[in-house]
Structure 1
Amino acid sequence: MLTSWQAYRGEARALFAIAWPTAIAQLAQVGTGVVDTIMAGRYGAEELAAVAIGYNIWLPLFLFGLGLMMATSVTVAQAFGARRVQEIRDSLPQAVWLALLLGAVIGPACYLAGPLLDALSLEGSTRDKSLDYLQAVAWGLPATAIFQALRCHNQGLGLMKPYMVASIIGFIANIPLNYAFMFGRWGAPELGAAGCGVATAVCMWLGLVLLGAYSATVPAIRKYLPPLRPVAPNWPLLGGIARLGLPIGLSFFLEIGVFSTMGLMIATLGNNAMAAHQVAINLWDTMYMPMAAVGSAMATRVGHAIGSGSGAAVQVAVRTGMSLVVLVALSATLLLLSLPGPLVSLYTADAGIHAIAEKLIRLAALFIIIDSLQIGGSFCLRAFRDTRFPFVVTCLSYWCLSLPLAWWLGIKAQLPPAEGTAAIWGALIAGICVAMMLVMWRLRATLRRPLPAADAVSEEDERSPDTRDAA
Structure 2
Amino acid sequence: MQQTKTVSQKLKQFFGLFIPIFVTQTSLFAMQFFNTTMAGHISSQDLAGVAIGASIWTAISTGLAGILLAVTPTVSQYVGARKRSNVAPFIVQAVYLAITLGLIIIGLGAISIPFILDSMNLEVEVYDVAYKFLVMISIGVIPLFIYTVLRCFMDALGQTKITMMITLCSIPINLFFNYCLMFGNLGFPRLGGYGAAISSSLTYWCMLAISILVISKNPRFAVYKVFKKFLPFHFRTWKQILKIGIPIGFSIFFESSVFSAVTILMSQFDTNTIAAHQIANNFQALLYMTPYSIALALTISVGFEAGAKRFKEARTYSFIGIGAALIFAVLYITVIVIWNHSIVSIYTSDTNIKKVAEGFLLFAALFQLSDAIATPVQGALRGYKDVNISFISTLLAYWGIGLPLGYILANYTSTGASGYWIGLISGLACAAIFLLWRLFYLQRLHFDTIKGKNLYLKEQP
Q: CA deviation at 1:183?
A: 4.9
Q: CA deviation at 1:276?
A: 4.7
Q: CA deviation at 1:168?
A: 1.8
Q: Which residue of 1 aligns with 2:389?
A: 389
Q: Which residue of 1 aligns with 2:178?
A: 178
Q: Which residue of 1 aligns with 2:452?
A: none
Q: Is the 8 A contact 1:265 1:411 kept in 2?
A: no
Q: Which residue of 2 aligns with 1:434?
A: 430
Q: Is the 8 A contact 2:44 2:272 kept in 1?
A: no
Q: Which residue of 1 aligns with 2:235?
A: 235
Q: Which residue of 2 aligns with 1:207?
A: 207
Q: Which residue of 1 aligns with 2:82?
A: 83
Q: CA deviation at 1:67?
A: 0.6
Separation in 1, partners of 2:186, 2:291: 40
SS of corresponding position for 1:120: coil
SS of corresponding position for 2:82: coil
Select between 293-302 and 176-185 the one with higher mean Cα deviation: 176-185
Select between 439-448 and 281-290 the one with higher mean Cα deviation: 281-290
Q: Which residue of 2 aligns with 1:467?
A: none
RMSD: 2.9
- Residues 142-186 of structure 1 show CA distances to partners (whole Å, capped at 9, x for unaligned) of 111111111111122222223222222122112222333445554
Q: CA deviation at 1:123?
A: 5.1
Q: Which residue of 2 aligns with 1:56?
A: 55
Q: Which residue of 2 aligns with 1:15?
A: 14
Q: Is the 8 A contact 1:305 1:317 kept in 2?
A: no
Q: Is the 8 A contact 1:308 1:454 kept in 2?
A: no
Q: Is the 8 A contact 2:216 2:227 kept in 1?
A: no
Q: CA deviation at 1:392?
A: 0.7
Q: Is the 8 A contact 1:409 1:420 kept in 2?
A: yes
Alignment of 1:447 with 2:449, yes or no, is no
Separation in 1, partners of 2:45, 2:276: 22
- Residues 368-417 of structure 1 show CA distances to partners (whole Å, capped at 9, x for unaligned) of 1122111111111111112111111111111111122112223212x1xx
- Residues 57-107 of structure 1 show CA distances to partners (whole Å, capped at 9, x for unaligned) of 322222022211001111111111112111122211111111111111112
Q: Which residue of 2 aligns with 1:462?
A: none
Q: CA deviation at 1:250?
A: 1.6
Select between 101-110 and 73-82 the one with higher mean Cα deviation: 101-110
Separation in 2, partners of 1:122, 1:70: 35
Separation in 1, partners of 2:198, 2:419: 40
Q: Is the 8 A contact 1:309 1:452 kept in 2?
A: no
The amino acid of 2:19's aligned partner reads W
Alignment of 1:216 with 2:225, yes or no, is no
Separation in 2, partners of 1:423, 1:39: 28
| CA distance 1:363–1:123, change in 2 (3 Å) | closer
Separation in 2, partners of 1:126, 1:342: 26
Separation in 1, partners of 2:30, 2:118: 29
Q: CA deviation at 1:48?
A: 4.4
Q: Which residue of 1 aligns with 2:420?
A: 424
SS of corresponding position for 1:228: coil
| CA distance 1:240–1:197, change in 2 (3 Å) | same
Q: Which residue of 2 aligns with 1:292?
A: 292
Q: Which residue of 2 aligns with 1:340?
A: 340
Q: CA deviation at 1:364?
A: 3.4
Alignment: residue pair count: 449
Select between 156-165 and 15-24 the one with higher mean Cα deviation: 156-165
Q: Is the 8 A contact 1:58 1:110 kept in 2?
A: no
Q: CA deviation at 1:197?
A: 3.0
| CA distance 1:140–1:262, change in 2 (3 Å) | closer
| CA distance 1:431–1:80, change in 2 (3 Å) | same
The amino acid of 1:388's aligned partner reads N
Q: Which runs of 5+ in 2 are unaligned?
A: 450-454
Separation in 2, partners of 1:181, 1:423: 37
Separation in 2, partners of 1:47, 1:131: 12
SS of corresponding position for 1:59: helix
The amino acid of 2:8's aligned partner reads R
For 1:254-265, what aligned pairs fall within 5 Å after superposition? Answer: 254-265=254-265
TM-score, with length taken from structure 1: 0.86
Between the two proteins, what is the percent identity of the paired residues? 27
Q: Which runs of 5+ in 1 are unaligned?
A: 458-471
Q: Is the 8 A contact 1:111 1:134 kept in 2?
A: no
Q: Is the 8 A contact 1:162 1:211 kept in 2?
A: no
Separation in 2, partners of 1:50, 1:423: 22
The amino acid of 2:367's aligned partner reads F
Q: Is the 8 A contact 1:307 1:454 kept in 2?
A: no
- Residues 419-443 of structure 1 show CA distances to partners (whole Å, capped at 9, x for unaligned) of 4444433322221121111111111
Q: Which residue of 2 aligns with 1:149?
A: 149
Q: Is the 8 A contact 1:162 1:215 kept in 2?
A: no
Q: Is the 8 A contact 1:263 1:277 kept in 2?
A: yes
The amino acid of 1:433's aligned partner reads A
Q: Which residue of 2 aligns with 1:163?
A: 163
Q: Is the 8 A contact 1:170 1:207 kept in 2?
A: yes
Q: Is the 8 A contact 1:251 1:390 kept in 2?
A: yes
- Residues 276-331 of structure 1 show CA distances to partners (whole Å, capped at 9, x for unaligned) of 54343333222211111111101110000001111221122112222212222222
Q: Which residue of 2 aligns with 1:461?
A: none
Separation in 2, partners of 1:270, 1:456: 53
Separation in 1, partners of 2:392, 2:77: 24
Q: Which residue of 2 aligns with 1:463?
A: none
Q: Is the 8 A contact 1:410 1:424 kept in 2?
A: yes
Q: Is the 8 A contact 1:77 1:157 kept in 2?
A: yes
The amino acid of 1:238's aligned partner reads W
The amino acid of 1:62's aligned partner reads S
Separation in 2, partners of 1:91, 1:430: 39
The amino acid of 1:383's aligned partner reads G
Separation in 2, partners of 1:189, 1:280: 30
Separation in 1, partners of 2:126, 2:419: 32
Q: Which residue of 1 aligns with 2:92?
A: 93
Q: Which residue of 1 aligns with 2:280?
A: 280
Q: Which residue of 1 aligns with 2:117?
A: 117
Separation in 1, partners of 2:358, 2:131: 35
